[in-house]
């Protein structure tokens, strides 16, 4: 069973039926057949080259030797094959050396690799996001020098934001960039500072490493600009174009609970006079530029979490069909039954599935919106949903992995079963690329209270789904519930907006919880509507259709109602926790 | 900060003020001073001998060498000191070689050790529960031979229930016990079979190991009795009274996610003709007898989970007071602030605290009920609350440990910080000694639907707390909420009781979730009432009182409301999940 990754039936349903991939392919060189071939290739490579070292990469962590990080060679081997097949550049345009595939295709492909081995494929995600940022904001020469080798998969990329004293607080970045002249790559700087939590910060499996580094340029008196507006972005390659090694040292490796195949480093820039870097675009634009990479990484984190959740669910469902234990209620004299026949095991499986497949659907929806970003409505909805796409899979996918362990009983707590590692791996996701708290503040503050366009699009699309569901037997009550939940979200926002500005974000995390349940309930309802519209001749099996609709209804009946207490908390003005002394905790 | 274990102020409040330990001590040789001295001793021993090898016992797992399990020597050293101080026998009567301390005292002491190193102190819990069972049901000679050396801490004990093919389904136990004669230790049997998940199943730190083994006696035709009624209980020592080694082999060690210091074994009994064992009491009484040990172990699991949660909360609160990051809302130009000044961090801390201290209070309440078991009301309430005492701390304590990681950000995901290990350790607790699903079926089936006496006591005690809270400024609204929740529990039970018998337990887990939130909300309200009654001259600090009441109100405002959707699910008759084919999952 260890070759179970994702449900092919579900991925096909989500991509082709629900999100209508063929519409995305119009006007491209690709059609359904080529997309299916691409998915087939991805599944095969994931199962044959990424999955086999999943456990080994957990057991044999990256290690520091003579100042360099050594990772498990199998990781490099798998990524070499990924490179040889051209997959690094799949969603880059052909003039940049890519394949020009829509994001929805490459994201669905990424999900297979993330299910097989998220920490190995993580290097490709960072590399792609890095190259995309350089391609968007860098000069032609910078693109040729630093983006193209990443699109080809020969060099890997990193994003260097956090510092030991400033995790999420980027305004406090202290890395200094001093001007050092100009050359064909642009304005050249010498960087000095320490960067923490750098995924892929060092490794021995790519020819070069391209660091994208946030730093501040001092004024004439040597003072650094305050806050996030003074942040600039620099390209700092490990090996310089002249072949010499840049002044970037690995100061330490973090030893993580999971996701261990991705090395995670503390990097010291400029221990010997300054690391050479070239500014991207104009000074002071660094954070805004980096947000492009962060938004891509946030959706990718959602995919990683959703994939772990889906794989855990499938492993648990298979185990529950095979493992015999106990008797049917009232049949003590009967034969032992498979544990999937116990109501509580089914409940756990349905809950896990509703989180896992709901998460995957949300992530794929966001990828579809990326493809349609030229449509202002889709762009606004993507902005709104990006923090949710990062957070719901991270938080609820982890719960799904928790349930997958529970279905396995004691076996699930041992390292002999992959569900144990899936859970440890997934625990990272609510933390990196902006914690759940950061995402919640982004959602409520920037996207809802100071935005609003995305919310209108959401309301419109929910109304369309609800309208369609009302026409379908067995979905009417569910349609009412989703409509009421979105209405409650609106009322909650009005209540929050009437509070003193300094307190509006106090319960942002509760708003995120309630809002994301409502969004995912809509996504489930919309999937059920799609199922109802599948023709009798459609390839989706009867059992798939029934399972899908049952999961949708289950989520709307039993998970969505928790949105109410979360939203009540978000709207509450009775919290006095800020008045408590810090010592009262 | 690694020497942070539990809050002394909170433990003193719960034990002395809330549960009125001094009333438990009436009629004993102990008073408040001796109890305080015992707690002081426990804290010191836990901090100085158990905590120092917490991480090391995780890194260096038990290993199998030449058929024996070797554990980290520091575990044996710590337990030797525990033994030398007489702590193994603390809650046994003096005529059995114990100290005769009330359960509430020894449980509160246990909590300190469980916070420091749950897997090391786990050996003492199993040993005490084993000895107590033999003392209750064994013959005098069995007690002298097998219980007394455990009460003295020289031998350790295990409980051998599960088998590889029968985890929670004990009716399917296949271990066979064939009659082999009679001697001064009673009816002697030869046992053959495999036992899985045996904590402390083998180790090299006690002189002998006393296994309590569930097995079945074949009838004359060699057939084993069906179901749980045919189960008998046997004492199977590793070393026999004549000094020879019994026929018990370690067939394997389980490699766990956490809680690694406690060895966990697959044991083969009778590979060479049969392991010698003596029956305890009458044939067929095994499961009933074992329930005594299981009930004790279940409450101990609750303590273990609560202690991990409390320690994680304290580590997180300390970290949040020290770690500087970000700015106060609207003060971007101000200095960096401690993260405890961020509303979302406070929310996480309050949630974690409400779970952690609520769990600890629930466990201590159950221990107080054990002391008063001669009172039929207390005995009935203990029966009702035992599955909740196992489950709420296991499920919500784990959530508290999850939040402790989240407060630490990336650091919390590294093995450099103890919160990472606390989380992995706590993940065991919803599984062993009866999974959450098993506990939920016990609560709803045996304790509520087929019982009811405990529920009446609960309702009476909740009414008393609500009545008192109504007289206190700042607790009136909270009193109404708790009263309404308990009322909703009653209505839910009536709705469940009106369903077809075969479906009544389908949503037992949801009932457990809703019921336990209501119970813990009552416990929080009752603590707040106790705080309000503390005199001005009481030693509890102002900041402690404020924090306690704020946490109580927070739990009742924002956590208790989730009981409603859980109870609605428990009462729901719209689930059709049993009608789905197994293949639809």
pLDDT per residue over A21-50, tens digit each? 999 899 888 999 999 999 999 999 999 999
CA distance A396 to A306: 9
Q: Which of A48, A38, A45 is nearest to A11 (CA)?
A: A38
Say how many CA atoms lie within 13 Å of A269 toward its Cβ.
31
Residue in B with minimal Cα distance to A433: B410
* Contact between B356 and B400 (Cβ < 8 Å): yes
For residue A409, give the chain B residue with the closest CA: B431
Which of the residue ranges A137-141, B53-57, B295-299, B328-332 would you say has the lowest mean pLDDT?
B328-332
CA distance A159 to A212: 5
The residue among B373, B300, B306 whose CA lies nearest residue B523 is B306
Work out whether strand A264-269 and strand A248-253 pair parallel, antiparallel, or are unpaired: antiparallel
Structure tokens at B452: 């009811």
Are B333 and A226 a contacting pair at CB < 8 A?
A: yes
Q: How far is A306 from chain B (nearest CA, A)?
A: 17
In chain A, which residue's Cα lies nearest the Cα of B553?
A: A575
Which of A437, A569, A580 lies at the smallest CB-CB distance from B550? A580
Does B142 score more than 70 pLDDT? Answer: yes
> Which residues of chain A make contact with B346, given a CB cutoff of 8 A?
577-578, 580, 585
SS3 label, residue B167: coil
- Chain A closest-CA separation from residue B503 CA (Å): 9
Judge whether residue B303 has pLDDT over 90.
Answer: yes
Where is A250: in which H helix or E strand?
strand A248-253
Question: Are residues A169 and B326, on separate chains, in Cβ contact within 8 Å?
Answer: yes
Where residue A196 falls (left for φ over 0; alpha for ψ -120 to 50; beta otherwise) is beta
> Can you tell me the distance from the alpha carbon of B262 to that of B202, in angstroms, rounded to the nearest whole number?
10
DSSP E strands, A80-206: 155-160, 176-183, 186-199
What's the angle, vertex CA B194, arms to CA B188 and CA B197, rounded to 5? Answer: 115
Q: Indicate the pLDDT class of residue A1, thresholds 50, 70 and 90.
A: very low
ipTM over 0.90: yes
pLDDT of residue B576: 66
Give the number of other CB atoms < 10 A from CB of residue B86: 14
With contact defined as beta carbons under 8 Å apart, do B269 and B248 qualify? yes
User: In the A/B pair of chains, how many CB contacts fall below 8 A?
Assistant: 264
Helix (H/G/I), strand (E/B), else coil: B92: coil
Residue B240, Cβ density class (10 Å: 0-12 exposed, 13-18 middle, ≥19 buried): middle
Region A196-221: mean pLDDT is 97
Which of A324, A413, A580 comes nearest B256 by C-beta? A413
Identify the H or E element spanning A284: none
Judging contacts by C-beta atoms under 8 Å, the chain A residues touching residue B344 are: 437, 440-441, 505-506, 508-509
Q: B519-551 pLDDT, tens per residue?
A: 999 999 999 999 999 999 999 999 999 999 999
The 10s digit of each residue's pLDDT in B478-502 is 999 999 999 999 999 999 999 988 8
Q: Can you give the length of chain B in residues?
A: 585
Q: Which SS3 state, helix, strand or coil, does residue A206 take?
A: coil
DSSP class of residue A217?
-
* Minimum distance, in Å, between the CA of residue A171 and any CA atom of chain B: 8
* A344/B437 CB distance under 8 A: yes
Q: Are A518 and A491 within 8 A, CB to CB?
A: no
Query: Does this model's pTM top 0.95?
Result: yes
A505-561 pLDDT per residue, tens: 999 999 999 999 999 999 999 999 999 999 999 999 999 999 999 999 999 999 999
Q: Residue B451: what pLDDT?
A: 81
By C-alpha distance, the chain A residue nearest B339 is A582
A336: distance to nearest CA of chain B, Å?
Answer: 8
What is the Cβ-side half-sphere exposure of residue B227, based on CA atoms within 13 angstroms?
A: 7
- Residue A215 pairs in a beta bridge with A232
Please answer yes or no on whether B169 and A326 come within 8 Å at the CB atom.
yes
Nearest residue, CB atoms, B431 vs list A255, A340, A409: A409
* pLDDT tier for residue A109 given thresholds of 50, 70 and 90: very high
B225, B310, B343, B400, best to mutate vs chain A, most A CBs in 10 Å: B343
φ/ψ (deg, to 5) at B305: -65, -40
Task: Output the pLDDT for position B575.
Answer: 65
Nearest partner of B342 among A436, A162, A161, judged by Cα? A436
Contact A254 B410 (CB under 8 A): yes
DSSP H helix total and E strand total for chain B? 18, 10
Of A167, A345, A413, the CB nearest to B257: A413
Chain A residue at shortest CA distance from B578: A343
Q: Average pLDDT of A74-84?
A: 98
Cβ contact, residue pair A410, B167, below 8 Å: yes
Give the whole-angstrom CA distance, residue B530 versus residue B540.
12
10 Å Cβ neighbour count for B449? 17
Mapped onto helix, strand or coil, the DSSP state of residue A199 is: strand
Taking the C-alpha atoms of residue A320 and residue A411, their distance in angstroms, rounded to an integer, is 12
To the nearest 10 degrees (0 to 180), the angle between helices B343-371 and B508-533 is 90
Contacts of B575 in chain A (CB under 8 A): 554, 557
The answer to whether the Cβ–Cβ distance between A562 and B562 falls below 8 Å is yes
Q: Give the containing element (helix H, strand E) for A362.
A: helix A343-371
User: pLDDT for B422-463, tens place per residue?
Assistant: 999 999 999 999 999 999 999 999 999 998 899 999 999 999
Contact (Cβ atoms closer than 8 angstroms) between residue B439 and residue B387: yes
Residue in B436, B505, B557 nearest the CB of A572: B557
pLDDT value of residue A170: 82
Query: Searching chain A, which residue's CA lies closest to the CA of residue B406?
Result: A431
Q: Give me B79's structure tokens.
A: 């337990």
- Minimal CA–CA distance to A479: which of A488, A470, A471? A470
**Contact list, A558 vs chain B (CB under 8 Å):** 510, 565, 569, 572
The predicted-structure confidence for A240-272, as pLDDT tens digits, reads as follows 999 999 999 999 999 999 999 999 999 999 999
CA dist B390 and A100 (Å) reads 55
| Other CB atoms within 10 Å distance of the CB of residue B425 | 29
Any idea what DSSP says for residue B459? H
- Which whole number is the average pLDDT over A500-507? 90
Closest Cα of chain A to B507: distance in Å? 7
pLDDT bin (cut points 50, 70, 90) of residue A236 is: very high
Contact B340 A431 (CB under 8 A): no
Across the interface, do B345 and A564 touch by the CB < 8 Å criterion?
Answer: no
Q: Is A8 labeled as catalytic in the residue annotation?
A: no
Buried b (16+ CB within 10 A) or exposed e, A120-149: bbbbbbbbbbbbbbbbebbbeebbebbbbb
H helices of B220-285, in order, are none
Q: Test A344 with B423 for CB contact under 8 angstroms.
A: no
What gap in Å lies between CA B216 and CA B283, rounded to an integer? 9
A562–chain B nearest CA distance, Å: 6
Answer yes or no: are the C-beta atoms of A303 and A309 closer than 8 Å: no
User: How far is the alpha carbon of B213 from chain A, nearest alpha carbon, in Å?
Assistant: 19
Chain B contact set for A340 (CB, 8 A) = 582, 585
Say how far apart CA B360 and CA B458 lie, in whole Å. 18
Q: Are A214 and A224 in contact (CB under 8 A)?
A: no
Cβ–Cβ gap B582/A227 under 8 Å: no
Res. A333 pLDDT band, cuts 50 70 90: confident
Q: Which residue intervals of A433-507 are DSSP H helices? A: 436-441, 453-470, 476-497
**pLDDT value of residue A575:** 65
Dihedral Cα B413, B414, B419, B423, nearest 10 deg? 60
Probe site for chain A from B228, B257, B552 (most A CB atoms < 10 A): B257
Is A304:A162 a contact under the CB 8 Å cutoff? no
Point out the catalytic residue in the list A433, A478, A483, A559: A433
Q: Which of B228, B225, B227, B231 is nearest to B212 (CA)?
A: B231
Q: How far apart are the first and last CA of chain A?
A: 46
pLDDT for residue A364 is more than 90: yes
Residue B166 pairs with which residues in a beta bridge? B163
pLDDT tier, A576 (very low <50, low <70, confident <90, very high otherwise): low
State chain B's maximal CA–CA distance in angstroms. 87
Contact: B172, A325; criterion CB under 8 Å: yes
A454 phi, psi to nearest 5 deg: -60, -35
- Choose, from B433, B478, B483, B559, the residue flagged as catalytic: B433
3-class DSSP assignment, residue B338: strand
**Residue (of B133, B142, B445, B436) closest to B294 by Cα position:** B133
Task: Return the percentage of chain B with pLDDT > 90, whole number.
Answer: 90
Backbone angles phi, psi at A191, to 5 degrees: -105, 140
Q: Which residues pair with A268 in a beta bridge?
A: A194, A249
SS3 B478: helix
Partner-chain contact A585 B349, CB within 8 Å? yes
Q: Which chain A residue is nearest to residue B548, measuring alpha carbons?
A: A584
Rounded to the nearest angstrom, the minimum Cα separation between B440 and chain A is: 9
Task: Give chain A positions within 8 Å (CB) of B342.
Answer: 437
Nearest to B238 by CA among B229, B228, B230, B247: B247
Residue A2: pLDDT over 80: no
């Amino acid at each position: 069973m260890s070759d179970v990754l994702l449900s092919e039936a579900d991925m096909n349903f989500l991509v082709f039926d629900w999100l209508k991939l063929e519409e995305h392919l119009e006007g491209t060189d690709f059609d359904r057949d080529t997309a299916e071939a691409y998915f087939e290739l991805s599944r095969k490579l994931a199962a044959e080259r990424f999955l086999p070292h999943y456990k080994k990469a957990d057991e044999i962590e990256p290690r520091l030797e003579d100042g360099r990080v050594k990772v498990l060679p199998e990781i490099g081997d798998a990524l070499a094959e990924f490179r040889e097949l051209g997959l690094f550049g799949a969603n880059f345009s052909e003039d940049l050396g890519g394949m020009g595939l829509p994001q929805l295709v490459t994201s669905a492909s990424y999900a297979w690799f993330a299910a097989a081995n998220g920490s190995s494929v993580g290097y490709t995600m960072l590399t792609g996001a890095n190259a995309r940022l350089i391609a968007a904001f860098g000069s032609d020469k910078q693109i040729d020098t630093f983006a193209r080798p990443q699109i080809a998969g020969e060099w890997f990329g990193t994003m260097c934001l956090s510092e030991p004293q400033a995790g999420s607080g980027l305004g406090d970045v202290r890395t200094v960039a001093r001007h050092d002249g100009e050359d064909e790559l642009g304005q050249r700087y010498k960087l000095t500072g320490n960067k923490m939590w750098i995924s892929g910060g060092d490794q021995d499996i790519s020819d070069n490493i391209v660091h994208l580094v946030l730093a501040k340029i001092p004024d004439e008196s040597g003072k650094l600009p305050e806050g996030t507006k003074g942040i600039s972005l620099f390209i700092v390659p490990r090996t310089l174009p002249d072949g010499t090694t840049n002044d970037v040292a690995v100061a330490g490796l973090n030893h993580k609970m999971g996701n261990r195949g991705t090395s995670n480093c503390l990097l010291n820039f400029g221990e010997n006079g300054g690391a050479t870097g070239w500014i991207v675009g104009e000074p002071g634009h660094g954070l805004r530029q980096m947000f492009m990479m962060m938004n891509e990484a946030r959706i990718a984190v959602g995919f990683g979490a959703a994939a772990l959740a889906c794989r855990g669910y499938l492993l648990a469902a298979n185990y529950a069909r095979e493992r015999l234990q106990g008797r049917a209620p009232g049949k003590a004299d009967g034969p032992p039954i498979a544990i999937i026949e116990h109501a509580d095991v089914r409940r756990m499986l349905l809950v896990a599935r509703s989180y896992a497949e709901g998460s995957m659907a949300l992530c794929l929806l966001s990828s579809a919106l990326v493809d349609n970003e030229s449509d202002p409505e889709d762009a606004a909805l993507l902005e709104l949903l990006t923090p949710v796409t990062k957070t719901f899979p991270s938080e609820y996918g982890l719960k799904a992995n928790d349930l997958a362990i529970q279905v396995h009983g004691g076996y699930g707590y041992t390292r002999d079963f992959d569900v144990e590692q899936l859970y440890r791996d997934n625990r990272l996701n609510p933390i990196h690329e902006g914690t759940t708290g950061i995402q919640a503040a982004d959602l409520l503050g920037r996207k809802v209270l100071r935005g609003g366009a995305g919310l209108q699009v959401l309301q419109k699309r929910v109304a369309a789904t609800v309208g369609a569901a009302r026409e379908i037997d067995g979905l009417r009550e569910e349609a009412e519930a989703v409509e009421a939940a979105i209405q409650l979200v609106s009322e909650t926002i009005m209540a929050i907006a009437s509070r003193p500005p300094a307190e509006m974000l106090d319960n942002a995390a509760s708003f995120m919880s309630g809002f994301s349940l409502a969004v995912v309930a809509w996504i489930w309802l919309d999937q059920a509507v799609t199922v109802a519209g599948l023709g009798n001749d459609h390839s989706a099996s009867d059992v798939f259709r029934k399972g899908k609709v049952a999961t949708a209804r289950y989520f709307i009946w039993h998970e969505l109602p928790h949105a109410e207490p979360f939203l009540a908390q978000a709207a509450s003005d009775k919290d006095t926790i800020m008045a408590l002394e810090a010592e009262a905790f």
